[in-house]
Amino acid sequence: MTKRKIKVLDTTLRDGEQTPGVALAPDEKLKIARELDDLGVDIIEAGSAITSAGEREGIKKIVDENLNAEIISFARITKSDIEPALDCGVDAVHLVFPSSDLHIEKKIGKTREDVKDIVAEISRYALDNGLTVELSAEDATRADRGFLKEVFQIGLEEGVQRICICDTVSMMMPEQIYDLFSEFAEIIDVPIAAHCHDDFGVGVANTISALRAGGSEIHATINGLGERAGNSALEEIALAISEFYDDDFETDLKLEKLYEVSKVVEEYTGIPISPTKAVIGANAFAHEAGIHTHGVLSEAKTYEPVAPEKVGQKRRLIFGKHTGKHAIENEIERIGLDASDSQIDKIFKRIKDLGDRGKLVTDAEWTAIIDDVMGRSLEEVVTLEELTVTGGDTVTPTAAVKIKYEDREFIEAGVGVGPVDAAINAIRKVVSGISNISLQEYHVDAISGGTDAMVDVVVKLTDGKRIIDARGSSEDIIKASVQAMLNGVNRLLWDKKLSEGEK
């Protein structure tokens, strides 16, 4: 049986940027577009050209890059949206018309007949100016199907090349989407796209149902970004197609790049990925429970539906109160150490004790326990010599640090929204001058009660190859934060030094 080719329209740079709090500069859009193109996306919705001068600058930069993907601009059914898209030099427009009576009457104050006339006029105008047109019905899942067919037919008679059905506020379940797309696939000869949102948590399921019913194009965003609860997540759809529908559909996506692209989008949008996010979350291939780690180490498929490398991820063994001895033995062996049964027992007890006190056993603590029990000493590659923090109601919070790295001293200053932020930013500047280590996450893990409250700060750091957690504890949240950063940095640098020494 011949596989059906599925085109992928990525709308991270348009619908994804409409995520509250997200605003991408032109150069950031260009960098993400390059990643999307390398991922194998067929169509990149670079933005909506009518939005602003900066938006047009970003779209033009992407167009000028001569990527393999088709570059498309979102446009409403008005010439004022088409003209700036033409000025940007895009290949196509995602021409969106309101299709439900709710949108037609309440949003634009028109009638169904008005919409049909305008769709005919603007479709013709875009096509006459050399644009590919994807005619898209907004709020289609609450629209009258007879009216939808009439409008799509008008567009097809004008010559539009693709049709899109939008579940704008997620008003259908998968079986209903299947029924809708089945009906339209029987009467429409051009490709039909599915644009599904995730308000009810079924965006990916709805998109897959649309494909099974005859759709041949998907709209999605990296990390599931988008308005409200977001859009269908590209990484989840891609893996689902690969694992469950490989005999039916094919795409040009390079699955091994999914995690990398996800992290780039996370960096530029500032929207953190939930650790439990499917496919690309930090915990997607992490294991703590003893029975799970033992199983996955014996046979990966016991608790991993796919190999993490397939999507560019790596397996992580997390050590905590649920950890079993088998995982400890395996990890110690993996890093090239030979521990006695007595040492294994001591390490096991130390980890259990931390877990029973409600503590996350960070990567830095895990290795520190091994070093202590096995008599290895961690050399402090980076040491803090001075820390000064100033701030107040009328003074911008500022921090200055002096840090010694090997035989050199680094002095940096940072500002922030508060003294902790300023101190972290100062440390970041020093670390970026030493290595490519970056801070991914920061949170206060626990605060004890009383006037002498102890603060636990946990940070997640990465050097591009590894991701580790590290903790700092102090009665002073600033000191705890700096300690956490330096503990993590020292762990990464020391492990790197040991690794290079072994080579």
Q: What is the mean pLDDT of residues 491-503?
A: 69
Helices then strands, each counted (H, E), the chain: 16, 18
Q: What is the pLDDT of residue 349?
A: 85
Q: Which of 83-87, 170-174, 408-412 has the lowest mean pLDDT?
A: 408-412
Shortest CA distance to 69 belongs to which of 87, 107, 43?
43
> What percent of the chain is predicted at pLDDT more than 70?
91
Query: Which residues does residue 193 pair with via DSSP β-bridges, in sequence order?
Result: 164, 217
Whether the per-residue pLDDT at 163 is higher than 70: the answer is yes
Q: What is the pLDDT of residues 188-199, one digit of tens each?
A: 999 999 999 999
Whether the per-residue pLDDT at 499 is higher than 70: the answer is no
Q: What is the pLDDT of residue 472?
A: 82
Q: What is the pLDDT of residue 452?
A: 60
Token pair of 478 as six digits: 């600033």
DSSP state of 107: I
Q: Which of 192-196, 303-307, 346-350, 492-496 has the lowest mean pLDDT?
A: 492-496
Shortest CA distance to 211 belongs to which of 172, 266, 174, 264?
174
Q: What is the pLDDT of residue 488?
A: 85
Q: Which of 9-18, 121-130, 420-429, 442-451 has the lowest mean pLDDT?
A: 442-451
> What percent of the chain is predicted at pLDDT more than 90?
58
Q: What is the mean pLDDT of the chain?
A: 89
Q: Which of 158-162, 202-206, 399-403, 497-501 has the lowest mean pLDDT?
A: 497-501
Q: Which of 41-50, 118-127, 317-326, 443-452 has the lowest mean pLDDT?
A: 443-452
Count Cα neighbours of 140 within 13 Å in the Cβ-side half-sphere: 29
Please say whether the beta carbons of 218 and 194 come within 8 A: yes
Q: Which of 256-265, 303-312, 354-363 has the lowest mean pLDDT?
A: 354-363
Whether the per-residue pLDDT at 466 is higher than 90: the answer is no
Q: What is the mean pLDDT of residues 337-353?
A: 83
DSSP state of 354: H
Count Cα neighbours of 248 within 13 Å in the Cβ-side half-sphere: 13
Strands (E), 236-278: 249-250
Q: What is the pLDDT of residues 102-117, one digit of tens each?
A: 999 999 999 999 999 9
Please say whether the beta carbons of 196 and 167 come within 8 A: yes
Q: What is the mean pLDDT of residues 109-131?
A: 98
Whether the per-residue pLDDT at 394 is higher than 90: the answer is no
Please say whether the beta carbons of 365 and 468 come within 8 A: no
Q: How far apart are CA 431 and CA 227, in angstroms?
A: 35
Q: How far apart are the first and last CA of the chain?
A: 50
Whether the per-residue pLDDT at 379 is higher than 90: the answer is no
Q: What is the pLDDT of residues 404-461, one digit of tens each?
A: 887 888 899 999 888 888 888 888 888 877 777 888 888 886 666 665 667 878 888 8
Sign, CA dihedral 475-478-483-484, equals: positive
Q: What is the mean pLDDT of residues 15-27?
A: 95
Q: What is the pLDDT of residue 450?
A: 60
Q: What is the mean pLDDT of residues 157-178?
A: 98
Neighbours of 447 (CB within 10 A): 13
Residue length, the chain? 503
Exposure string of 100-110, with b = 16+ CB inside 10 Å and e = fewer, is: beebbeeeeeb
Please say whether the beta carbons of 73 and 47 come within 8 A: yes
**Confidence band, pLDDT 50/70/90 cuts, at residue 361:** confident
Structural domains in the chain, CATH included, are 4-269 (3.20.20.70), 286-373 (no CATH), 382-502 (3.30.160.270)
Shortest CA distance to 431 belongs to which of 457, 459, 405?
405
